[in-house]
Amino acid sequence: MDESELLPIRNFLAEIAPFNELPPNLLDECCRNLGIGYYSNTMKAVPLSSENPELYIVRSGAFEVRNAQGELLDRLGAGDYFGFPSLMSGETISNQVLILEDGLVYHLGLPLFDKLRQGCRAFDRFFNKAYAKRLRHQEDYRHNALLTANRINSLMATAPVSVDHKTSVNEAAKLMRKHRVSSVLIMDNHKLVGILTDRDLRNRVLAEGHGGDIAVHQAMTATPETIEANALVFEAMLQMSQHNIHHLPVLDNGHPVGMVTSTDIIRSQSSQPILLIGEIERQHDVPSLIHVSKQIPLLLQNLISADARAEEIGRILTSVTDALTRRLIQLHQALLGEPPMAFCWLAFGSQGRQDQMACSDQDNGLLLAQAPDTEASAYFEALTHAVCRGLNECGYVFCPGDIMAQNPAWRMSLSQWQQTFSDWVNTPDPKALMHASIFFDMRCVYGPAPLFASLQENVLAHTRDNDIFLAALTGNALSESPPLGFFRQFVLERDGTEEKGIDLKHRGSVLINDIARVYALSAGIHEVNTAKRIRTLIANGILTRKDGLNLADALEFIAHMRLANQGRQYENQEPLSNYLKPQALSSLMRHQLRDAFKVVHDAQAALKLKFMRSF
């Protein structure tokens, strides 16, 4: 190829990771030796050779990678790669790369690929991480064990407490009291030589008549059982049971990094969702519910550590919120007496969509079977104030916009709710559109299903194929955009401090929620959860399979990034937020996050074309 042919190839590769990390001489050599292939979707699949493996670089078109069982491993577009075992599942022959759209693909042979990896460390590191990412992506389609498959390090919240082996027992006991721990690690020249526990103090000091001035090495449990930080919680449980012990020092490459106790494991077991929900349902007063709710942050952290899918985490956390809400309603009904009429407790926003994460506030309302009289109004006022107050005390803070059932404005009869939604749809002013982003994602948490169905059916009848309302709702959905600037660089915002970051919620997740909501309301779809809405839109042919799956992937990836970021903030004892600092991302993760935001950008453009073409 001459220079005029090489230039577009060079410009393309210079803008995508990790080719943008190559030194100029290697990039030039790469461009000169690339093969070029054109793949039509009439071919169905790309023919892959196990004898002459190559790296395939997608210049245009769309492809899917599936394993022998037909499970989706990845979806690929411009700037993505496939081909080598390290970029797929480890079984190149059994995997298929399906052609969704005609595409142009560059071929990079194995000898040159190895030369680039040897000549550029960043290039090599990128593909090592791509392998790990692909394996994780494959596992996303399988069930995660949420407790015993967790790693030991997920249970460690604080640094280990340790003393020198010559320290007195008295000083060690004071240190244990100060840090509120039941054991300390005993060190000799930076090496773990033993542990001192409450039981040791009782059996080897007090029971033997020793004073507190003896050295800890005289009372400690020498050469204790230990466990590695990356071991499974199940292994720790087994080890404690076999040796009848309650403390396990945790090591990382031989160095003590923490201590796990039987209490830690019991506490983590109690934060499993089913057990936690069962415990909620067994409580008989509000103070007990408040105490149980303190396990919710640990549940979230366990789910993040188990690498559960963001969609699963949202459903689990919301199930706990629903259980708390129902139990509060039941407890206060027992105090107030039977309700004067049938009612539904409505959840809006993130609880309605079942995608709650950390820092969730309340968004709820009350649907009454009929207009209440004075006595009924007093009953429901007392009930809603008590339930909202209880949720606030359990960690679900009062809504800053006062969208709560305790506000009389959101405590209405069926006919009043129907009229309110009708007004919003028929007069889509800015305030109505703001409410639409919250109230149109609604779900019944407590109460008779037919009563809620009457409201939902009425709402969908008003929104289905309502061009004026849908155009206005689309305009509102496009008021914000993904944080991408020129050349797909991130646009950073301040999070209220001097730090700059990417708002993953309002510039990512919320935008996808808005897109899915418009399509769902236009088609009268009952689903409220965004991922389920997208799947239904694909099944009904409203979104193409490729566009819908890309949007679903972007939703999951951005939500996963939010959760992982909040998990790091929790571990570092930082305030939880939705702001991600780009400098904390690897080159690979930056690349993938930009791709996810590009999907959102394209989906917004398609939404505008469909619903605002005539306006």
pLDDT, tens digit (0-9, with 9 covering 90-100), for 438-467: 999 999 999 999 999 999 999 999 999 899
CATH 2.60.120.10 residue ranges in the chain? 3-139
Q: What is the fold, at CATH topology level, of the domain defined by 3-139?
A: Jelly Rolls (2.60.120)
d(CA 280, CA 291): 10
Q: How far apart are CA 82 and CA 100, in angstroms?
A: 15
First to last CA, the chain: 49
Calpha distance 8→31 (Å, rounded): 10
Give pLDDT, residue 453. Answer: 95
pLDDT for the residue numbered 218: 93
Which two tokens mark 331? 């407890």
- The DSSP symbol for 575 reads P
Backbone angles phi, psi at 83, to 5 degrees: 130, -60
Burial of 209: CB neighbours in 10 Å, binned 0-12, 13-18, 19+: exposed
CATH ID of 159-245, from 3.10.580.10, 1.10.1240.10, 2.30.30.240, 3.40.50.150: 3.10.580.10
Listed in order, the ranges of the chain carrying CATH 1.20.120.330 are 474-611
| Residue spans of the chain under pLDDT 50 | 85-93, 130-149, 270, 486-488
Q: What is the pLDDT of residue 134?
A: 43
Alpha helices in 541-586 (DSSP H): 545-571
Sort strands 191-197 and 81-82 into parallel, antiparallel or unpaired.
Answer: unpaired
User: Is 228 buried (19+), middle (13-18) or exposed (0-12) by CB count in 10 A?
Assistant: middle
| Rounded CA separation 227/241 (Å) | 14
- For residues 425 and 463, the answer to whether their CB atoms sit within 8 Å is yes
* ∠ Cα 260 358 277 (to 5°): 70
Peptide bond preceding 339: is omega within 30 degrees of 0, i.e. cis?
no
User: At 79, phi and psi to the nearest 5?
Assistant: 90, 0
**Rama region for 235: left / alpha / beta (φ>0; ψ in -120 to 50; rest):** alpha
d(CA 451, CA 369): 7
Cβ distance 249 to 195 under 8 Å? yes
In a 10 Å sphere around its CB, with 0-12 CB exposed, 13-18 middle and 19+ buried, how is residue 274 labelled? exposed
Q: Shortest CA distance to 351 belongs to which of 442, 267, 224?
A: 442
The pLDDT of residue 470? 94
Distance of CA 349 to the CA centre of its chain: 17
- DSSP E strands in 147-294: the ranges are 162-164, 183-188, 191-197, 221-222, 227-228, 247-252, 255-261
Opening angle at CA 384, ends 381 and 385, nearest 5: 80
**What integer pLDDT is reported at residue 492 of this predicted model?**
62
The arrangement of secondary structure in 271-463, i.e. its CATH architecture, is 2-Layer Sandwich (3.30)
**Domain 474-611 classified CATH 1.20.120.330?**
yes
**Residues 428 and 472 sit within 8 Å (Cβ to Cβ):** yes
pTM assigned to the model: 0.61
pLDDT tens string 393-415: 999 999 999 999 999 999 999 99
* Structure token pair of residue 152: 């030991």
Angle at 517 between CA 513 and CA 522, to 5 degrees: 160
Is residue 367 helix, strand or coil?
A: strand
Could you write out the DSSP letters of every residue in 286-339? HHHHHHHHTTHHHHHHHHHHTT--HHHHHHHHHHHHHHHHHHHHHHHHHHH-S-
- Return the pLDDT at 228: 84
**Which residue is it, tokens 């916009």?**
401
Strand partners, 444: 346
Selection from 251, 202, 242 nearest residue 223 by Cα: 251
Alpha helices in 50-181 (DSSP H): 110-119, 121-139, 169-179
3-state secondary structure of 521: helix
